[in-house]
Each structure stands twice: as C-alpha cells, then as structure tokens.
Homo-oligomer: A and B are copies of this chain.
Amino acid sequence: MAELGFIGLGIMGAPMAGHLRAAGHRVHVWARRKSAAELEAAGFLPCSSARSVAERADCIVLMVSNTPDVESVLFATDGVAAGLSAGKLVIDMSSISPLATRQFAERIAARGADYLDAPVSGGEAGAKAATLTIMVGGKPEVFERARPLLALMGKTITLVGDVGAGQTAKVANQIIVGLTIEAVAEALLFASKAGVDPSRVRTALLGGYAASRILEVHGQRMISGDFAPGFRLELHQKDINLALEGARALRLSLPHTASCAQLMNAATALGWSGFDSSILAQVLETLSKHHISGDGTRAAHDPTP
C-alpha cells in the first residue's frame, strides 16, 4: 500500500485514479471542481492544494488538459513542486508539449525528485477498462519503479526514451491517427460518390494493406454518420498543434499534418469541434456536397451531424 497523489479527476483521470485506489493504495487528490464529500465518497483523500498532495504522497500522478495546466499544477504557489522532497516521483500522464516537458523535468529534478512523462492512448474506454497504451519517457530505473502503478491503468506500456520521449511518441501517434482518419474519409467519399456502397468497400479493404483500427472503427462512424465522441476533435486539434509547434522548432516540414490542422480549423468553424475527430469526414463531405452514407438516411447536404 503506497501513498499516491492524483491531480486531474476528469473523464480520463477519475477512472485511472479509481484503479489505483481499487488496488489498495491511498490516493490523495486535489480537485477544484469536486467537493471533499464527493471525493471521500469515491474513496479518495481530499487535499486543500496540489502542494499538500505532494507533501503527503510519494508518487504524484497528473492527468490534466494541456501544457499550461501542467505548468500551473506543478509550479504555481502551493503547486506540486513546493511540496516535493528528495526521492519523490512525479508522473505526468497528460498529453502536452515534449519541449516543455523537458523543462518541467529539469525544474522537478532541482528539487531532488524524479519525473516521468507517460501520456496515454485509448480514450475513456481504455481508461475505464485499464487497457490504455502508455508511452513513457524517463530514466530506465525510474520507469521500473513506476511500472507496477502504470500497469494498474494500462496494458501496453513502453519506455520510449529519455524524458519527453513519451510525449513525442504521443504526438507521433496523434499525427498518424489524424492523417489516417483523413485518408479513410477521402477513400470512402471517393467510393460513395462513384456509386459504390462504402460499407462493402470498408469490409473488402479490411482484408488487405489498407487495414487499420481507424478504418475499422472510424470508418464505421463515417458510414453510419455517428460522430459522438470517442475522442473530441478539439482535443485532437491540440495534439496536432503540438506537432506543428514542434515541427517549426525542430525545422521539420510536415505537409499533411499542416493540412490536417486546417481541416480541423474548418471543422471548428462549422461548429463541430465537440464531435469525434472522425467528423473530419464531414468537412470533406461539405467540400464535395456529398455524404459518404448517401443512402437517404441523411439529407444530401445536411451540415448537422
């Protein structure tokens, strides 16, 4: 039984922290949007600040929304850093900037504490089922210390490299997922407009080199026109923007990632940023005035999902 901390009890974080608690650990939490009574009822130990969480726990897990949130939780007055002492461990499981991650890790190291970045893939379903893919950056010996805890939340857990490497892998993941969604949308739109049933095309293609989880899952969403998240486009957009910021800083040309960001901007302009990122298909449908599922169940050009 360890003294753990968890900050960020959102859609992902709540079930993840729940798995830690269910394994018998004491989980100290700080959550601005939940009452102490609510947290206690869920089996957590509420604290009055992030600093207080860090004082009580030996290992503090973060699962918040973006780079500024991580910075604030760690380094604000009464933040995690103020409560750290030598030998403690911070694990940031949020999806944030790889470059900022390296700076955060250095500042945490200055307090004598260790740092891992461990962003995840798999969404709410993966968080609930403890089947997340976890991409880790940090020192191998620190990774080994954290592995039993990570194994309570995920299934495929890979040490990718030094601090920041987990975030870099997550960005690479989001590039592939975003661009593959776009690719599947172009392919199904082509087939549908040519008068061929996109559902049969999906089935035929799942047997060959075009096969992917995206064709299987997101392809089906496009065909049935069901764009409920899943993973919201606005969150995916954040990750694609991290890729483009990184590309600029690293002097890299990523033409399709850049174009994907523009199509995501269009989705936002059209009011669809809260839908699953497979809504990209509907941006393409709008450009060509044709629905992938041109079977009469949706209007010929109905911009509302």
Chain A interfacial positions (CB closer than 8 Å to B):
98, 121-122, 133, 135, 137, 155-156, 158-162, 164-165, 168-169, 171-173, 175-180, 182-184, 186-191, 193-197, 200-201, 203-205, 207-215, 217, 243, 246-247, 250-257, 259-260, 263, 284, 287-290
A190-B175 contact, Cβ under 8 Å, with A169-B196, A205-B169, A252-B288 = yes
A161 touching B196 by the CB < 8 A rule?
yes
A-B contact pairs, 11 of them (CB 8 A): A98-B194, A160-B196, A165-B196, A165-B200, A169-B201, A175-B186, A176-B212, A179-B180, A209-B214, A212-B212, A252-B288
A182 touching B256 by the CB < 8 A rule?
yes
How far is A209 from B123 in the complex, measured between Cα atoms in Å?
10
Query: Which of A197, A211, A243, A287 has most B Cβ within 10 Å?
Result: A211
A160-B290 contact, Cβ under 8 Å, with A98-B194, A172-B190, A209-B214 = no
How far is A122 from B173 in the complex, measured between Cα atoms in Å?
26
B179 touching A133 by the CB < 8 A rule?
no
Closest to A286 in B: B253
Q: Which of B182, B194, B204, B213 contacts A158 (CB 8 A)?
A: B204
How far is A160 from B204 in the complex, measured between Cα atoms in Å?
7
